[in-house]
């Protein structure tokens, strides 16, 4: 089992053919210049110790040395050791409102995109905590089960949209019940981060909150939107606003933030309500809340500890460079005595 830390350095291998091309060009140029003074046979007699093989050998050693150094830069790692790692953290489920009202643009760029920014930044602050994601409107929809893979979590988060749930509304009861079902480990600290504009909540939210409270689940709520409100834009396939959502009487619907609903949910589980206007402020407040929650050991697993192997390639590369420096271009005496190619000795 192995991995490469910085494979981008493999692009440096493209320099090797350039070096070979320069060597061949230089060799061709030397032969051409030598031909001006004497033919090749006479030149060999004038410089009998000059080796025609050694320059190519020196080039080969140089190329091999550079290859080793480039591999050292890539830093291959091998999983030669196994360690048991115990994780301590919190189980967190993000319950994200994906109703049509979240398309309102009273916060930039709109409520749903602002929610994604907030959740993504919160995830960036986490360490060993497990996260899950629930989407909800008129009903709840499981988006991502509990995981410690934050890159996957953020990928699923970005894919969320208002078309994932057909029934409209804001069913806090379904969202909380589904989020509670995500917590599959009994002895861990559990937190639901519920994000919504608080509008058009269904019946039974109080019962779901009580059920969560009995199971030791806290619900931190974040309100996204303004109390002044904004219309809900309707867009075409190109993303251009063509109109705004209207009610049965043909009046443009204005969707507002209802903080009292969200405050009530947070208060009942002894948690906090946060206004989601500033992403930075929200993340800081969430971090403070997380620091107050006791971390629990929720996972123990075997992982491969990859050890760097660059030092071997670096040492070999510098050794070959040293050999290349001391490798002379004249013929080796003991090889010359063997006369492997039956060369005629000149008087």
**Predicted pLDDT of residue 18:** 95
Per-residue pLDDT, averaged over 227-236, amounts to 90
CB contact set of 294 (below 8 Å; sequence gap of 6+): 189
Residue spans of the domains in the chain: they are 2-75+309-338, 87-301
d(CA 175, CA 96): 9
Local confidence band at 187 (pLDDT 50, 70, 90 cut-offs): confident
**Predicted pLDDT of residue 294:** 85
Question: Bigger pLDDT: 204 or 258?
Answer: 258
Q: What's 178-243 look like in SS3?
A: HHHHHCCCCCCCEEEEEEECCCCECCCHHHHHHHHHHCCEEEEEEECCCCCCEECEEECCCCCEEE
Per-residue pLDDT, averaged over 130-153, amounts to 92
Query: Residue 340's Cα: distance from chain center in Å?
Result: 59
Average pLDDT for the chain:
85
pLDDT in tens, 78-119: 865 556 667 788 999 999 999 999 999 999 999 999 999 999
Residue 11, pLDDT above cutoff 90: yes
**Predicted pLDDT of residue 341:** 47
Which of 65-79, 200-214, 218-232, 306-320 comes out lowest in average pLDDT?
200-214
Which of 64-68, 285-289, 322-326 comes out lowest in average pLDDT?
322-326
Residue 167, pLDDT above cutoff 70: yes
**Predicted pLDDT of residue 138:** 85
**Residue 296 class from Cβ within 10 Å (0-12 exposed, 13-18 middle, 19+ buried)?**
middle
**pLDDT above 70: percentage of residues in the chain:** 82
Residue 44, pLDDT above cutoff 70: no
Which of 28-32, 243-247, 255-259 comes out lowest in average pLDDT?
28-32
Residue 235, pLDDT above cutoff 50: yes
d(CA 238, CA 223): 29
Q: What are residue 245's phi and psi, to 5 degrees? A: -60, 140
Question: Bigger pLDDT: 168 or 213?
Answer: 213
The CATH number of the structural domain formed by 87-301 is 3.40.50.410
Residue 347, pLDDT above cutoff 70: no
d(CA 207, CA 227): 26
Local confidence band at 144 (pLDDT 50, 70, 90 cut-offs): very high
Residue 20, pLDDT above cutoff 70: yes
Local confidence band at 148 (pLDDT 50, 70, 90 cut-offs): confident
Mean pLDDT comparison of 38-42, 195-199, 280-284, highest-scoring range: 280-284
**Predicted pLDDT of residue 233:** 92
Per-residue pLDDT, averaged over 50-73, amounts to 87
Per-residue pLDDT, averaged over 43-60, amounts to 71
- Indicate the pTM of the whole model: 0.63
Residue 334, pLDDT above cutoff 50: no
Residue 176 tokens read as 């909380």
CB contact set of 288 (below 8 Å; sequence gap of 6+): none
């Amino acid at each position: 089992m192995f991995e490469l830390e910085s494979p981008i350095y493999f692009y440096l291998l493209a320099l090797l053919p350039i070096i070979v091309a320069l060597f061949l060009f230089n060799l061709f140029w030397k032969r051409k210049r030598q031909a001006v003074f004497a033919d090749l046979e006479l030149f060999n007699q004038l410089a009998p110790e000059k080796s025609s093989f050694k320059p190519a050998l020196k080039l080969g050693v140089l190329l091999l040395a550079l290859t080793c150094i480039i591999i050292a830069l890539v830093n291959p790692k091998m999983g030669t050791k196994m360690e048991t790692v115990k994780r301590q953290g919190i189980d967190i489920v993000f319950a994200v409102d994906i109703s049509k009202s979240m398309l309102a643009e009273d916060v930039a760029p709109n409520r749903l995109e602002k929610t994604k920014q907030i959740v993504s930044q919160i995830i960036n602050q986490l360490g060993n905590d497990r996260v899950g994601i629930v989407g909800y409107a008129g009903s709840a929809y499981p988006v991502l089960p509990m995981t410690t893979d934050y890159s996957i979590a953020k990928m699923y988060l970005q894919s969320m949209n208002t078309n994932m749930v057909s029934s409209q509304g804001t069913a806090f009861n379904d969202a909380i019940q589904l989020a509670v079902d995500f917590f599959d480990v009994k002895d861990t600290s559990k937190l639901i981060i519920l994000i919504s504009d608080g509008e058009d909540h269904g019946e039974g939210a109080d019962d779901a909150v009580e059920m969560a409270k009995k199971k030791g689940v806290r619900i931190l709520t974040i309100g996204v939107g303004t109390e002044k409100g904004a219309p809900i834009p309707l867009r075409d396939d190109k993303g251009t606003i063509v109109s705004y959502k209207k009610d049965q009487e043909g009046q443009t619907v204005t969707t507002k933030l209802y903080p009292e609903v969200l405050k009530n949910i947070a208060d009942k589980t002894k948690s906090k309500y946060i206004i989601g206007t500033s992403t930075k402020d929200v993340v800081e407040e969430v971090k403070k809340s997380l620091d107050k929650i006791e971390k629990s050991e929720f996972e123990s697993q075997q992982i491969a500890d990859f050890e760097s192997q660059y030092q071997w390639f670096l040492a070999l590369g510098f050794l070959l460079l040293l050999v290349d420096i001391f490798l002379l271009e004249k013929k080796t005496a003991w090889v010359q005595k063997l006369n492997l190619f039956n060369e005629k000795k000149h008087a």
